[in-house]
């Protein structure tokens, strides 16, 4: 959805820009058709393929990151589990916790309660399950931010805006010089009705000139 919105904004900007510099409605219409359909369409398709590649990499590669934010998330996750165990041992009801959520709460624990927290009765499987869940939760927080940043940087800012092949940079002097006669005729050529009218007028002018020449010859002979 984010890429589609960016595509529409870029396309709308290009149409408005072409309209601003082309007073001739026919030139504007033909240029929009050719430029946006062919060149901009290719840029959009390339950006979408790039986005699919980034998504495939995120889904297909093993979880991996060098971001310290992962360790911070994992520490917070483990700290939250410890706080949850303390609250259970302290006997604080969940409803009370919700009421005190915005306040700092102090718990007084006995040595037996602290020992109970330290030797929390969980099987190895349960401990491993909680640990793996914490690792995955911490990693996916990092990966979501990374994927969003990559889409913004590589797809929108690079592929659609600032790359040499982006839609905003394709319409340049090189593009204009690369247009053939047929393409120029399609963009700025005369319509069929105008061409027919021009040819008819040219024939009329030729006929009038021929008739005028005949009259000149006749008048010379008569004199």
Q: Say whether both 174 and 202 belong to one domain.
A: no
The answer to whether 48 touches 3, Cβ cutoff 8 Å, is: yes
Q: Give the range among 89-98, 123-132, 142-151 with minimum mean pLDDT.
A: 89-98
Please check the confidence at residue 78 and state whether its pLDDT lies above 70. Answer: yes
Residue given tokens 């165990």 in the structure block: 85
Reported as a single tens digit per residue, the pLDDT across 27-55 is 788 777 777 777 788 888 899 999 999 99
Tell me the residue range of the domain where 8 lies: 2-188
Please check the confidence at residue 201 and state whether its pLDDT lies above 60. Answer: yes
Cβ partners under 8 Å of residue 85, min gap 6 = 117, 120
pLDDT of residue 97: 47
Q: Say whether both 209 and 175 belong to one domain.
A: no
Please check the confidence at residue 12 and state whether its pLDDT lies above 50. Answer: yes
The answer to whether 36 touches 11, Cβ cutoff 8 Å, is: yes
Q: Say whether both 32 and 77 belong to one domain.
A: yes
Cβ partners under 8 Å of residue 36, min gap 6 = 11, 14, 15
Q: What is the mean pLDDT of the chain?
A: 77
Q: Say whether both 115 and 183 belong to one domain.
A: yes
C-alpha 153, offset from chain centre: 9
Q: Say whether both 66 and 164 belong to one domain.
A: yes
Reported as a single tens digit per residue, the pLDDT across 161-186 is 998 888 888 777 777 777 777 777 76
Q: Say whether both 142 and 203 belong to one domain.
A: no
User: In the chain, how many domains are there?
Assistant: 2
Cβ partners under 8 Å of residue 43, min gap 6 = 159, 160, 165, 166, 167, 170
Query: How far apart, in whole angstroms, are the C-alpha atoms of residue 170 and residue 204?
Result: 45
Q: Say whether both 183 and 82 belong to one domain.
A: yes
> What's this model's pTM, rounded to 2 decimal places?
0.60
Q: Say whether both 151 and 197 belong to one domain.
A: no
Please compute the mean of the pLDDT values over residues 182-210 and round it to a whole number. 77
Confidence of residue 124 (pLDDT cuts 50, 70, 90): low
pLDDT of residue 147: 93
pLDDT of residue 63: 85
Q: Give the range among 16-20, 100-104, 120-124 with minimum mean pLDDT.
A: 100-104
């Amino acid at each position: 959805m984010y890429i589609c919105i960016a595509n529409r904004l870029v396309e709308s900007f290009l149409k408005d820009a072409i309209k601003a510099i082309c007073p001739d409605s026919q030139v504007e219409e033909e240029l929009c058709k050719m430029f946006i359909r062919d060149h901009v369409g290719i840029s959009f398709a390339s950006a979408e393929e790039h986005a699919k590649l980034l998504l495939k990499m995120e889904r297909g590669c093993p979880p991996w990151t060098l971001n310290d934010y992962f360790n911070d998330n994992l520490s917070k996750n483990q700290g939250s589990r410890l706080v949850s165990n303390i609250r259970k041992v302290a006997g604080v009801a969940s409803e009370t916790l919700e009421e005190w959520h915005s306040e700092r709460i102090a718990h007084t624990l006995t040595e037996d309660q602290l020992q109970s927290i330290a030797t929390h009765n969980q099987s190895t499987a349960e401990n491993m399950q909680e640990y793996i869940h914490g690792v995955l939760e911490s990693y996916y927080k990092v990966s979501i931010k990374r994927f969003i940043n990559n889409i913004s940087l590589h797809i929108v800012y690079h592929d659609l805006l600032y790359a040499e092949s982006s839609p905003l940079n394709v319409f340049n002097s090189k593009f204009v010089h690369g247009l053939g006669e047929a393409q120029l005729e399609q963009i700025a050529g005369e319509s069929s009705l105008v061409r027919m009218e021009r040819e008819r007028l040219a024939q009329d002018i030729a006929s009038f000139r021929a008739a005028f020449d005949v009259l000149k010859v006749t008048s010379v002979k008569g004199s």
